[in-house]
Amino acid sequence: MSSIPLDYETLRLVWWLLLGILLIGFAIMGGRDLGVGALLPFVARTDEERRVLLNLVGPTWEGNQVWLVLGGGAIFAAFPPLYAVSFSGFYLAMIVILLALILRPVGFKFRGKVKDPRWRAAWDWALFIGGFVPSLIFGVAVGNVLLGAPFHLDDTMRAFYTGNFFLLLMPFALLCGLVSLGMIVTQGASVIAGRTTGPLAERARSYGTISAMATIALFALGGMWIALGVDGYTITSVVDPNAAINPLAKTVTLTRGGWLANYGLYPWMILAPVLGFAGMIGALLALQARWRLPALLASSLGIFGITSTAGLSLFPFLLPSSTVPEASLTVWDASSSHLTLFIMLLVTCFFLPIILLYTGWVFRVMRGTVSTESLEKNPNAY
């Protein structure tokens, strides 16, 4: 491995950062579409207004899913034990998410096939489910990671998940789900308010104001719950960041408020929750002031801060085990080999800039206000 210019520890850290970037990218970019879908039946009152919202996200939503696909691929290739445990243990929850996400492309294509108001209303609610359910369950998943997942490993590193779907619906996990839903609805409202006009934009501002305030309050409540009511995980044995993969070669203890320890060790991490609060407060103020672009930028900053707070609090843990804490998966003992991480990094350095450039070009082409008048001029509109 001496020919590889980066040591194992550095590559593991780089891939932890890249995984975080991909997941945050999906939360921001995919959150635009999920948020608009969750608001569809409430913000838009007429068929024309609902068509405006469909055409607001219809041309770009598929491209935004690239972040989710890349995030899943990064977990599979960079942290295979994490992929094995999470994708099998949370199988039913992921099926629910996938079924909800499938409703979106079907809804976009089939809603306009029949002019019957009942037909279109049914697909509007299907699109609502496609935005609401993933937004909620993704947050519930993060909450369960902070609580610890019920799994253990045997001597051959085979994973055994001992939980079920309903055990995922713990009060703290549901709170995290509401935080996720609130920040994504705020993102969707900022998009609608920024690219539409008239009553549609005004209603979006009203819902966005409520969701931003709810997100701020729920995020603060979650922080207090973490400090006072949730046991955090701490590695108490010596950690070798360059060691071979072996999740069982460590000792772990649980302490109340342990997820806050990183903020004492690395004071700069406090920027994450500060940005989370600042972004949502900024989105709230910008929506009230009718500042279009600042509202979207502030909402995106809030999503970045809130999501980063979860990741930084967990570090170096990827998926703690609530049944056998020593089996918890961390950045240091659940990664792929040194050579695999390096080759993947080279591939990523080539393709990720292309994806960013293409995404920027698409949004530049699709910029501007969407209105009923613009739909009449577009024969390909939904």
264 by Cβ neighbours in 10 Å (0-12 / 13-18 / 19+) ranks as: exposed
Residue 373 or residue 110, greater confidence: 110
What is the pLDDT averaged over residues 283-305? 95
Given a cut of 90, is residue 5 above it in pLDDT? no
Given a cut of 80, is residue 266 above it in pLDDT? yes
- For 25-51, write each residue's pLDDT tens digit: 999 999 999 999 999 999 998 888 898
pLDDT for res 376: 74
The three state secondary structure string of 66-116 is HHHHHHHHHHHHHCHHHHHHHHHHCHHHHHHHHHHHHHHHHHHHHHHHCCC
- Measured CA to CA, the distance from residue 188 to residue 295 in angstroms comes to 11
Give the domain ranges of the chain. 8-376
Given a cut of 70, is residue 1 above it in pLDDT? no
| pTM, to two decimals | 0.92
- Measured CA to CA, the distance from residue 232 to residue 147 in angstroms comes to 8
- For 176-195, write each residue's pLDDT tens digit: 999 999 999 999 999 999 99
- Which helix (H) or strand (E) segment holds residue 235: the answer is strand 231-235
Given a cut of 80, is residue 379 above it in pLDDT? no
pLDDT for res 2: 54
What is the pLDDT averaged over residues 270-290? 96
Given a cut of 60, is residue 382 above it in pLDDT? yes
Given a cut of 90, is residue 92 above it in pLDDT? no
